Amino acid sequence: MKLKNQVALITGGGGTLGGAIARKLATEGAKVVLLDIRAEFAVKNAESVAALGGVAEAVGLDITDAAAVRRAVDEVHARLGRIDILVNCAGGSARERMKLFHEQSLDVVRDVIAINLFGMLNCTHAVAQHMVAAKSGNIINIGSAVGVQGLVRCVDYSAAKGAIHSATKSLAKELSPLGINVNCVSPGQIPRELPAAPEAFALRHSFLNRIGTADDIASLVGYLTLPEASFITGQNYIVDGGRTLAMQGSDTRV
Amino acid sequence: MKLKDKVAIVTGAGGGIGRAIALRLASEGAAVVVNDLNPDNAARVAAEITAAGFTSLPFAADVTKSAQIREMTSAVLDRFGRIDILVNNAGGSANLLGKLSHFKDTTEDIWKWVLDLNLNGTLICIHAVLPHMTEHRRGKIINIASIAAEVGILNRVDYSAAKGAVVSLSKALAMEVGPHNINVNCISPGMIVAQPSADQAAGTWLGRTGKPEDIAALTAFLASDEASFITGVNYTVDGGRVLGPKT
């Protein structure tokens, strides 16, 4: 129980990854607050934390609304007395609306950047005030292998995630001297649901013979929140089964 | 106890970062082979582990001598029957010889010595354990590189080259052995010193230099089942030193 008495805010707390991170931090003793625009999903994940004996609560929140974010963060801080950990996990690509950039609507592009980049900035801005006052804190941003390598039909998403990687470094420079570590974890291909042909999926998306899971990401996020990781700051750690090692145009698995 | 029943070899474990890694892996339940060039240092760290109630085996061997390393691997398999984790920590710059200098002022024997220790030593140890790891379809190889690999360090052209090579070989090897369920990763420490000067501490964004335990903790994490989807990466642990200038 290395996070006893700590309070952790997790955005995208209603999602698969947010839920896995919540359970991981809760098993180390942290009280977790799950923020999600889909409050009912956050409630469900909070229940999964409670089922493991952890303490969790769900808060409905649109992270693109900076004023609402500040109100929610200040309310949590006033009520729980502290915020030790912020995991900026909310985000996602345009999914079924993904298109080549020159064919994409700029409204979709703006939405993707608003959720991924401004969502993270809004939450960090609101939480950092409390962490600076406490001279202590730990911020983990969820980046993406797509932000490192780019991906077709993901110009908006890769731009936002690449910006998160860079913002992580600048935030580390500003906040680390004040006692706050800032790092990024970049997942590779982590399917939300088990694909029809798991082995073929694994072979296509990694150099390991298995599919990446939300728990694989949550483990590293959990590690980075521990006191023993306190010398790590400003980093972007990729967890992708080797996906980013692959080159286009050659058979990489021979 | 994340490493219960595992067997780990840590090279250069007679002191500093290697010692901290050996102690940490042992405290997580692994039987630890404490390799060092210096038999006394290997024996001392192994005795520390045993005194703490954990399992260890000291083995003095030179990582640049393949015959000695093959002998070590056989001895480990004879004693424990398996090798799950290899931490290639043995290494160092020409500072070990008292011969740091600009590259134009160095000599070929010095840079060959540095490359042999850091690069060939790593390759030799990996090559020695791979037959066992691929046969049993499990393994974790963790190479201790350096921020020198990413940013280069003055007076250490040879060392920077060797550590850059360690990072690159880890990526290529990760692709080759991933299908055998073997993970290959690097950790790049920044400045790890026990008694830092004010200048050294000011060189990080956290206002402190690193401790060997900072590296040991991440090594234990990467060696654990929790990190089994991580391969081919180089994780920097440096207090933000390579983020660059303050202004």
Residue partners of B93: CB distance under 8 A and separation at least 6: B100, B114, B153, B156, B158, B159
Nearest CA in chain A to B138: A208
Å between B227 CA and nearest CA of chain A = 7
Q: What is the pLDDT of residue A248?
A: 75
Note the residue count of chain A: 254
Could you give the maximum distance between any two Cα atoms of chain B, in Å? 56
Least confident segment among A91-95, A152-156, A189-193? A189-193
Q: pLDDT category, A125, cuts 50, 70, 90?
A: very high
Q: What is the pLDDT of residues B189-234, one digit of tens each?
A: 999 987 888 888 888 999 999 999 999 999 999 999 999 999 999 9
Q: What is the pLDDT of residues B71-111, one digit of tens each?
A: 999 999 999 999 999 999 999 999 999 999 999 999 999 99
Query: Nearest CA of chain B to the CA of A53: how many Å?
Result: 21
Paired with B96 in beta bridges are none
Inter-chain residue contact A231 with B231, CB threshold 8 Å:
no
Q: What angle do CA B206, B211, B212 make, to 5 degrees?
A: 145
Question: In 10 A of CB B130, how many CB atoms?
Answer: 20
Phi and psi angles of residue A236, each rounded to the nearest 5 degrees, phi first: -120, 105
Q: What strand order describes the sheet that includes B182-189?
A: B56-60, B31-36, B7-10, B85-88, B139-144, B182-189, B234-237
pLDDT band, very low/low/confident/very high, at A251 (cuts 50, 70, 90): low
A237 to chain B, any CB pair closer than 8 A? The answer is yes
Instruction: Compute the count of residue pairs across chains A and B with CB atoms less than 8 Å apart.
Output: 110
CB of B211 within 8 Å of any CB in chain A?
yes
**Residues B48/B36, Cβ–Cβ less than 8 Å:** no
Taking CB atoms and an 8 Å limit, are B240 and A228 in contact across chains?
A: no
Taking phi first (over 0 means left), then psi (-120 to 50 degrees means alpha), and beta for anything else, what does residue A54 get?
Answer: beta
Is A6 within 8 Å of chain B by CB? no
Compute the C-alpha angle A227/A232/A237, nearest 5°. Answer: 115
pLDDT of residue A250: 59
Average pLDDT, chain B: 97
Write down the pLDDT at residue A97.
Answer: 96
Catalytic residue among B59, B80, B113, B159: B159
A178 interfaces chain B, CB cutoff of 8 Å = no
Terminal-to-terminal C-alpha distance of chain A: 44
User: Any idea which residue has 């750690």 for tokens?
Assistant: A237
For residue B32, the SS3 value is strand
Among A139, A170, A182, A231, which would you mutate to test the B interface (most chain B Cβ atoms within 10 Å of its Cβ)? A231
Cα–Cα dist A199/B205, whole Å = 43
CB spacing of A242 vs B175 below 8 angstroms: yes
Average pLDDT score, chain A: 96
A201 touches chain B (CB under 8 A): no
What does the alpha-carbon distance between residue A24 and residue A18 come to, in Å, rounded to a whole number? 10
Reported confidence tier of residue A193, pLDDT bands at 50, 70, 90: confident
pLDDT, position B33: 98
Residue B231, CB half-sphere, CA atoms under 13 Å: how many? 31
Check pLDDT > 70 for residue A229: yes
Structure token digits, residue A165: 């990687």
Confidence of residue A252 (pLDDT cuts 50, 70, 90): low
**pTM beyond 0.90, yes or no:** yes
B159 is catalytic: yes
Place of tokens 């039987």: B31
- Residues of chain B contacting residue A177, judged by C-beta atoms under 8 Å apart: 205-207
And the tokens for B40? 């006394």
The percent of residues in chain B predicted with pLDDT above 90, rounded, is 94
3-state DSSP of chain A: CCCCCCEEEEECCCCHHHHHHHHHHHHCCCEEEEEECCHHHHHHHHHHHHHCCCEEEEEECCCCCHHHHHHHHHHHHHHHCCCCEEEECCCCCCHHHCCCHHHCCHHHHHHHHHHHHHHHHHHHHHHHHHHHHHCCEEEEEECCHHHHHCCCCCHHHHHHHHHHHHHHHHHHHHHHHHCEEEEEEEECCCCCCCCCCHHHHHHHHCCCCCCCCHHHHHHHHHHHHCHHHCCCCCCEEEECCCHHHCCCCCCCCC
pLDDT tens-digit map of A96-113: 999 999 999 999 999 999
Q: In the prediction, which pLDDT does B5 show?
A: 97
Note the pLDDT tens digit of each residue in A203-221: 888 999 899 999 999 999 9
Separation between Cα atoms, residue B128 and residue B41, nearest integer Å: 23
pLDDT confidence of residue B194: 76
A80 CA: distance to closest CA in chain B (Å): 27
Q: Which positions of A are catalytic? A: 157
User: What is the ipTM metric for this complex?
Assistant: 0.94
Mean pLDDT of A6-29: 98
Position B199 scores a pLDDT of 84
**pLDDT for A223 beyond 90:** yes
Q: What is the pLDDT at residue A247?
A: 80
Judge whether A246 is closer than 8 Å to chain B, CB to CB.
yes
Of the partner residues A207, A210, A253, the one whose CB lies closest to the CB of residue B174: A207
The tens digit of pLDDT for each residue in B42-82 reads: 999 999 999 999 999 999 999 999 999 999 999 999 999 99
Residue A254 has pLDDT above 70, yes or no: no
Residues in chain B: 247
Strands laid side by side in the A55-60 sheet: A55-60, A31-36, A7-11, A85-88, A137-142, A180-187, A236-239
Contact A241 B208 (CB under 8 A): no
Q: Which residues from chain A sit within 8 angstroms of residue B196, using beta carbons?
A: none
Please check whether residue A148 touches B, CB under 8 A.
no
